[in-house]
Structure formats: C-alpha cells, structure tokens
A and B are shown apart, each in its own frame.
Chain A
Amino acid sequence: MLNPALRDPAALPRLALTLLAVLLLWPGLSLSELNLAVLVDSDNAANMGRFLADFWPLAHDPQFLRLLGRATLETLAIATAGMALALLIAIPGALLASRALSLSAAHRSGRPAWWAQALRWPVRGVLIVLRSVPEIVWALLFVRAVGLGPTAGVLAIAITYSGMLGKVYAEIFESVDPRPSRALLIAGSPRLAAFAYGVLPNAAAEMLSYTVYRWECAIRASVIMGFVGAGGLGQQIDLSLRMFAGGEVASMLLTFLVLVLLADQLSCLLRTRLL
C-alpha cells in the first residue's frame, strides 16, 4: 500500500472526482427539498398503505370497463392524431434543417457554404422554439383557448413533438453514410430525389424506430395532459384518484402497461418485417 511503485496512479483523480460530484450534487438535493423521512413517517405510511390496499381487486364492472375502453381509445387517438400533425411539420423542417441535402457540400467534401449554413439556422431556431416549451404547458394554454377536451392534447403534442422529431430526423439524415446521396447529386439528381434514393434507405429503420418510440411517449404525454383536462385516460385517472378509487386506478395503470408493451411489439414487428 505504501510502496509507491504499486500505488494506482488513477486513485487520486478518481477520489477527487467523486468528492467534486458530491459537492456539486449536495446543493441540488437541498434546493429540491428532498426529504426521504416523510416516506417512513407513520401517518403518511398508513395513508399510503390504505390507498395501495385498495388497488386489489381491480375494478372490472362492465360500466367501468366501457368507460375505460372509451378513454383508452381517446388516448390512442390523441397520441396518433398529434403525431400525424407533428410529422407534417417535422419532415419538411428536418429536410430544410439538415446538412445532408446540401448541394454546395457535395463538391466541398461535406462542408456546406457559409451562406447555406446560415439559411439553415432559422429553421433550426423554429424547431428549437417548438420543442422548448413542454407539452403540458401548451396543453394548459390550449385548454384555456379551445376548452376542455382532446383537441387541446392533440395540438400540444403536435407542436412539441414536431420540434423533437424534426431535430432528431435532421440528425439521422446527417449521420448516415453521405456518399450515396452525394454521388446522386453529382450525377445531376434533384435534392429530394437524392434524398429518397440515397439517404432514406439507410435512415428508414432508425427513423421508424424513433417515430414509434415517440408515439409511445405521446401516449404517456396524452395521459399526463389528461390531468389538466385534455381528455383520455389521464382525465379518468385524475377523477379516480380524487375519489380514492384504488381499484380503478390499478386497472388503468395496467391498461397503460399493455399500451406501452403493444407499442414496443409494434416497433419490433415493423423493423423486422418491413425493412
């Protein structure tokens, strides 16, 4: 241990980094007022226990199941319609923001001319603005504007997700092998055709899996937005929570699990069968 030849030269920096991390995280913990003691407090624990005990048996009377089915469909519809609208903005946005289709980059070994790059910045800016405000905030705004109901949820998802999808699509286009599309551009092909024949075959699998994943996120988001009155399963969970109907909450959480599982299976299926 004290033999200097056997001392690990990395030990001191590692110790220093650990101390630094703790020093940096400590103010965060105290700022967020995290207090784990409330969990073991006997009063709170008893409350929590009673509520959790209500989870069983699951609510399954026909009337509730009908309500659950309707809310699930509404949630799926909100997520799907929101994604469809988001794609309408995201795909043109990604094509405009991406360097992958730059004509000037084709003969400058991948570096677009400065003015071409400058023109992409406003589009990137728009995508940033779209995704910088969380969907829950948009949902609150739209609930004020268009009233309670699924429309607010659809619009909120469309706006936020178009920004996210646009950014990630643009990055996927840039990350695939640029040589096929560059070769097509040099052979006189227009840019959209070069994209369809040179970039899309390489990017499609990645885009598909990200889109299905985002759809899954949209389902979750639409539930969260239900809490502020944007319809779907979330609104039902909110009501059941207020009424301390543990069985109903448990049924809905289970529905949730099934939805996410289905989205996962869908992604697998699409990726193996279609591509």
Chain B
Amino acid sequence: MSLNLTGVGLTHANGQVALREIDLRVQPGERIAIIGPSGAGKTSLLRLLATSLQPSAGQLELFGQQPWQLGAQQRQQLRGRVGLIHQAPPLPPRQRVVTAVLAGKLGQWSLARSLLSLLHPVDIQGASSALGRLDLADKLFERCDQLSGGQLQRVGIARVLYQAPELILADEPVSAMDPLLAGHTLSVLNQEASARKITLLASLHAVELALAHFPRIIGVREGRIVFDLPPEAISPAELEALYANEQLQSLEAVAPAPPVCVQIPRC
C-alpha cells in the first residue's frame, strides 16, 4: 500500500478546518487526479501527504510507515521517497536552472557531493535530460528569474523527475501553461509514473484535463472527499454539485501571501 489514510483531519493553527474525515487508500502505481473548487482543501491534502503538514486527527501511512511516529532522521529518509511539485515552485531567483533541478536529489546525495555540485554541477547530463523531456533543455544554464511562470513550473517538475521518487504529488502542476503544453506536461508525468510503476497524485483545476489523463478521479469539496470514481462513471450532475457556487467561494479562498520584507539592524 502506497498511501493509507484513516479518518484524517487537518485544522490550521488559526482554527480553520481544512480537511475532515479523509479515508483514502492508494495502491502502488495508481494515477489519481484530485479535483474540486478553490479552497476545497486540495493543496492541504497534498501537503499532508507530503508530510509538509501534520494531521490533527486520524492516521496517515506512507509506504506502510507512519511518518509522524518516526524520528526526524528516518522521516527525512521517508520524505526523500516522495516528490512534491508546487504550484509556484519555490526557487531562489538567482539560482541557475541546472542547480534547481539537481537539488531534487539532495535527499539522496552526501553533503560533500551536494556542496561540490554548487561549485560545478556534478550531473549536467541528468539535469539536461530531465529538462529535455519538458522541452526546456535550452534553459539549462539560465537563471530562474529569467523564466516565465509556465517555464518555472516545468523546472519544478523537472526537479521531481530528476529526484525519481516513488510517489509524485503534484499541486496544480500545469496551472500557468497553455492548454497544449499542459496536456503534454501531464502526459510526461503519466508516462513517468507508468514507466517506473510509481504512484502519481495530481490536483487539477481543469476538469477536462483530469478526466482525459487519469484513470481515477477524487472530488474534494469543503475538506471532504465527495466522490472517488473512474472518469467514465462520473455524471455531469456530480461535477456540477462539486463546483456549485464556485465563484463565491473562490473570492474568499485566494488570499495572497504577504510580501517578504524584513529590516535588518546594522551597526
């Protein structure tokens, strides 16, 4: 069993309930799309699975281990087997693309190798081939602040492809790409998952992309799983119910992150 969630709930520090009573079983090699309106808890669910958030209730099992029962060292090892693709990849603006991609393997490399790679990239070939699959090989030595939003997203995906994890979690991985590129990128992720027989969970805003690329669809609304079906079994009425009043909710759900601005005292 790749993932096993029993009665998992998540309450944020400000008291806001993000997820409640989630039961989910995922076998190795499954490819799943998570859909639902904005603010439904898709991102929270993925971050919970990536052990980036600790559940406030219930039990989470990853590859048969309970990450929150492990010591910090073992949990880091477990985390190295999971790759999380962020909607807006958090890459330092001054970092070069090759370094950003190679950072995927930091969990597996020794510290000496990681530091050496900062002086001279140790695996240019590997980074280049991961980028090449996403049509970005020509940006290998560019700086991250010279890329567009869609290109950055693909660098983030290339990092996880290079990491070669056993479980790929993707949070809106194609939200900044045009429809053609989005379709191509999703099929690259799906090919990777089928070829290496690894598990893939992706949250998607575009329902038609989810229905076209994934054999199992999970609908999330207000922190609960509403349905968990193959795409051909989902009725239009169910989709409509899932997204009912989306405009109203999306207005309150999207809160921009506060800008980072800290004064440093100098003497």
Residues of A with Cβ closer than 8 Å to B? 103, 106-109, 111, 164, 168, 171-172, 174-177, 179-180, 182-190, 192-194, 196-198, 201-202, 204-206, 210, 213, 275
Contact = CB atoms under 8 A, between A and B. Distances in A.
Interface string B214-251: 00000000000000000000000000000000000000
A66 to B, nearest CB: 36
A171 B267 CA distance: 13
Given A103-B72, A179-B90, A186 B118 contact: no
A197 B103 contact: yes
Interface in B53-95: 53-54, 72, 76-84, 86, 89-95
Contacts of A192: 111, 114-115
Given A202-B94, A275-B94, A189 B54 contact: no
29 contacts: A103-B72, A103-B76, A106-B52, A107-B54, A108-B54, A111-B13, A171-B262, A172-B264, A175-B260, A183-B90, A186-B51, A186-B79, A186-B84, A187-B79, A187-B82, A187-B83, A187-B106, A187-B163, A188-B82, A189-B80, A189-B114, A190-B111, A193-B109, A193-B114, A196-B114, A197-B99, A197-B103, A201-B93, A213-B266
B161 interface: no
Contacts of A185: 76, 79
Interface of B: 12-13, 50-54, 72, 76-84, 86, 89-95, 99, 103-104, 106-109, 111, 114-115, 118, 163, 260, 262, 264-267
Given A164-B267, A183-B90, A187-B104, 19 more contacts: A107-B53, A108-B54, A168-B264, A172-B264, A186-B84, A187-B82, A187-B83, A188-B77, A188-B80, A188-B82, A189-B103, A189-B106, A189-B107, A190-B106, A193-B106, A193-B111, A197-B106, A198-B90, A206-B264
A204 B95 CA distance: 11
A190 B76 contact: yes
B76 A188 contact: yes
Nearest to B107: A188
Contacts of A171: 262, 264-265
A238 B46 CA distance: 68
Contacts of B83: 187
Contact of A198 (B52, B92, B265): B92
Nearest to A199: B92
Contacts of A275: 94
Nearest to B81: A188
A-B interface, 10 closest residue pairs, ranked by CB to CB distance from nearest = A188-B80, A188-B107, A179-B90, A189-B106, A201-B92, A175-B262, A188-B79, A193-B114, A193-B106, A180-B90
Contact of A188 (B12, B78, B93): B78
Contacts of A177: 90, 92, 260
B14 to A, nearest CB: 10
A197 B101 CA distance: 11
